[in-house]
């Protein structure tokens, strides 16, 4: 997961170096972008060519990663002094979507979440509990991104950039097939 996060952060930083950079992509709806079902061809037909393409290995399997990113200096950011940017990372196992993550510091569709609230998510809680305190996730992972072949993970990510410094907060909440939390990982990287 760390390498995926770094890929998204790299995409955000690379588009922030201009006044407006990247393509202001239209994010696919949650109904269109379904892990375990949506294909690479469907994404490209809807969103066009990705800004960045790469690969990464999870649990011995190599996944293709497509990243769409956009930033606008002087745009309407969720926090003062932040260059608003957004990025959509899509991970494909073969041709099928195995993971998606989205981060935005634009005021309109920001993904900011409260770190103290994130720390309250514990093993044994159910999905309904998590979503009631954290809100709807903007990302999801399946195997092989996570280890549990029958489970899934909800992903909460927020990146913000001031000048050339970026900070990213990431919460990954893993569930078993019964929608019970089995593992949580909260991390922050970078300093503003």
Length of the chain: 192
pTM beyond 0.85: the answer is yes
Helix ranges (H only) for the chain are 2-16, 40-47, 115-118, 127-134
Query: Rounded distance, CA 14 to CA 69, Å?
Result: 9
Q: What is the DSSP letter of 66?
A: E
> Are the beta carbons of 4 and 99 closer than 8 angstroms?
yes
Q: On the CB side of 146, how many CA atoms lie within 13 Å of its CA?
A: 24
Q: What is the pLDDT along the chain (192 residues), one digit of tens a residue?
A: 555 554 554 544 444 444 446 778 988 999 999 999 999 999 999 999 999 999 999 999 999 999 999 999 889 999 999 999 999 999 999 999 999 999 999 999 999 999 999 999 999 999 999 999 999 999 999 999 999 999 999 999 999 999 889 999 999 999 999 999 999 999 999 998
């Amino acid at each position: 997961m760390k390498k995926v996060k770094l890929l998204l952060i790299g995409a955000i930083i690379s588009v922030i170096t201009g006044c407006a950079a990247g393509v202001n992509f239209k994010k696919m709806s949650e109904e269109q972008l379904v892990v375990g079902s949506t294909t690479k061809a469907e994404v490209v037909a809807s969103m066009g060519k990705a800004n960045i393409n790469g690969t990464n290995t999870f649990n011995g399997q190599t996944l293709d990663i497509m990243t769409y990113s956009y930033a606008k200096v002087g745009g309407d950011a969720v926090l003062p002094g932040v260059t608003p940017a957004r990025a959509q990372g899509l991970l494909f196992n073969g041709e099928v979507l195995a993971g998606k993550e989205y981060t935005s510091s634009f005021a309109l569709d920001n993904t900011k979440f409260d770190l103290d609230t994130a720390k309250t998510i514990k093993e044994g809680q159910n999905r309904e509990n998590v979503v009631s305190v954290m809100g709807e996730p903007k990302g999801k992972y399946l195997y092989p991104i996570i280890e549990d072949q029958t489970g899934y993970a909800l992903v909460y990510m927020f990146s913000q950039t001031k000048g050339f410094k970026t900070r990213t907060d990431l919460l990954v909440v893993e569930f078993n097939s019964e929608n019970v939390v089995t593992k949580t990982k909260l991390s922050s990287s970078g300093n503003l």
